[in-house]
Amino acid sequence: MSAGLDFASICSSSAVEVISAAPPQSFNPTAMSRLEGRPVVRRPEQLRLHRALDELDWVGVIGELNEAVRPTNPSVTEPILVTTNGTILAGIGRWRSAVFDGRHEVNCIEYPLNEDESLQFIISHHQPQRGWNAFIRIRLALKLELYFQKRALDNMAAGGKYKGLANLPNPQHIHVRQEIARAAGVGARNVSNVRTILQTAHPRLIEALQDGTLTINRAIQWCRQPKAQQVEQFTQYTLERATSKVIRQSIARLKKDKTSPDLIITVLDALQRQEARQPGSVLLRQGRSQHSIVLVGKGLHMERQLEKELEVT
């Protein structure tokens, strides 16, 4: 077999067979095209999610994908991309719809990829789509670590270096990390950060990273603290974000409303600037009153700022 996958020769044979267990020297998931696969018809129950997605228990994002790929014209259905063993490469939403609708058959394009190659294709194919954020892609790509380690050892053995060595030298470990980063479409530093996060972060932070409400850079800073403090930091951060969002939306809405009193806009502007200067100093609480009430605390800086703003108006 050549350095790359020779799909044309495989698909031209009379029977489709799984590729050799020996990993290829180079696999480029973006180089595949529909012409390199074989059109087949499968029953929905013959198809399955990749094992890495199952382990991630990624129900929420799969639900989003289900809506994102719903065809605008029901009479035209895109084929589902699958491997020879029924692993879904692309078209998760269409597959779930077929299951829910009780369809007996679905059109598929079949590719002769093994488990590791199919995961590379899944990550690469879905990278631009909503929900497949950097944390998710890195977490999936880390499942390929043993695959890249074996390939690095095979390359060294082929070159006559480190024969019989069970562990990789440090330069090759760095190379493996770069391969994981390349598969995920991120920088190598983020791979190390996600590895640390998975080992030290509180589960609430992991959930927030998966749904995109928390960034890798912010999470890695909190991971230096005990898990209880991580939750406190995350709770405060979430509250501050919600407060800032409400203030921004309120100011924008009031500025569009020509009948709103200038005083309200002035107060909200002052609150927004105060929150920017001292994050967490402005808190938003839901009360039982039917009216919206703004309570200004006794912080001297806040009082003077409001007085100054009100004098100007």
- pLDDT at position 171 is 62
Indicate if 45 and 156 belong to the same structural domain: no
Indicate if 141 and 187 belong to the same structural domain: yes
Burial, 280: exposed, middle or buried (Cβ in 10 Å; 0-12, 13-18, 19+)? exposed
Backbone phi, psi, residue 205, to 5°: -70, -40
Indicate if 28 and 150 belong to the same structural domain: no
Indicate if 186 and 219 belong to the same structural domain: yes
Both tokens assigned to 89: 């490469």
Residue 138 belongs to domain spanning: 133-224
- Name the domain count of the chain: 3
Indicate if 9 and 120 belong to the same structural domain: yes
- pLDDT at position 255 is 67
Indicate if 167 and 55 belong to the same structural domain: no
* The domain boundary residue, chosen from 224, 241, 263: 224
Q: Which stretches of the chain score pLDDT less than 50?
A: 1-25, 60, 63-64, 66-69, 74, 300, 302-303, 306-307, 309-313
* The domain boundary residue, chosen from 164, 199, 224: 224
Q: How many angstroms separate the CA atoms of 37 and 56, rounded?
A: 28
Indicate if 203 and 162 belong to the same structural domain: yes
Q: How many angstroms separate the CA atoms of 24 and 116, rounded?
A: 11
Query: For the packed helices 170-184 and 134-141, what is the interaxial angle rounded to 10 degrees?
Result: 130
Torsion, CA 204, CA 191, CA 195, CA 90, rounded to 10: 60
Indicate if 87 and 191 belong to the same structural domain: no
Indicate if 215 and 284 belong to the same structural domain: no
pLDDT in tens, 213-241: 899 999 999 999 999 999 999 998 888 88
Residues, the chain: 313
Indicate if 81 and 145 belong to the same structural domain: no
Indicate if 122 and 149 belong to the same structural domain: no
- pLDDT at position 278 is 75
- pLDDT at position 256 is 72
The number of C-alpha atoms within 13 Å of 246 and in the hemisphere containing its C-beta is 15
- pLDDT at position 139 is 93
**Terminal-residue alpha carbon distance, the chain:** 78
Indicate if 120 and 3 belong to the same structural domain: yes
- pLDDT at position 20 is 30
Question: Per residue in 39-70, is it b (16+ CB within 10 Å) or e — as a string?
Answer: eeebebeebebbebbeebebeebbebbbeebe
* The domain boundary residue, chosen from 89, 114, 129: 129
- pLDDT at position 18 is 30
